[in-house]
Amino acid sequence: MSITIYHNPECGTSRNTLAMIRQSGAEPVVIEYLKTPPAREKLIELIDKMGLPVRSLLREKDIPHAELGLADLTWSDDSLIDFMLAHPILINRPIVVSAKGVKLCRPSETVLDLLPNPHIGRFVKEDGEVIDAA
């Protein structure tokens, strides 16, 4: 089963998710979306497959969010997508795609639902939290 992760190596949740995928025995396609952002059509497809409102994929913690006034609820979905494409750091991560579906994997153990072998055993996250997926 092919697995793709839209990954930011600077993000602990993204690193934990990638490590869980690998611990399951799978080697995913890793797309560092800050270097290679998805095309507009692909981003829309991912959002649709996740079944999320566009705004819920918008990362609020990073600087451009406040500077661009994105907390304003009058921005349309198309405008929010435009902002995410212009500033990929605004795309919340990690997004994982597998034959089992597409999910924003926050928290990282959400990825287990997408893995062909979710029984990865004991996993210790970077923050020390232990996940037991036996």
Residue 105 has pLDDT above 90, yes or no: yes
Q: What is the pLDDT of residues 29-71, one digit of tens each?
A: 999 999 999 999 999 999 999 999 999 999 988 779 989 999 9
Token pair, residue 116, equals: 């062909």
Residue 85 near residue 40 (C-beta atoms within 8 A): yes
Residue, of 66 and 26, whose pLDDT is higher = 26
Total tally of structural domains belonging to the chain: 2
**CB neighbour list of residue 67: distance below 8 Å, 6 or more residues apart:** none
Mark whether 84 and 98 lie in a shared domain.
no
In percent, the amount of the chain with pLDDT more than 70 equals 100
Residue 14 has pLDDT above 80, yes or no: yes
Mark whether 87 and 97 lie in a shared domain.
no
Give the residue-averaged pLDDT of 86-104.
Answer: 97
Write down the pLDDT at residue 1. 72
Mark whether 28 and 10 lie in a shared domain.
yes
C-alpha to C-alpha distance for 79 and 23, rounded to whole angstroms? 38
- Give the residue numbers spanning the domain of 122: 1-33+93-134
Write down the pLDDT at residue 126. 96
Q: Would you please indicate which residues are annotated as catalytic (active-site) residues?
A: 11
30 forms beta bridges with 5
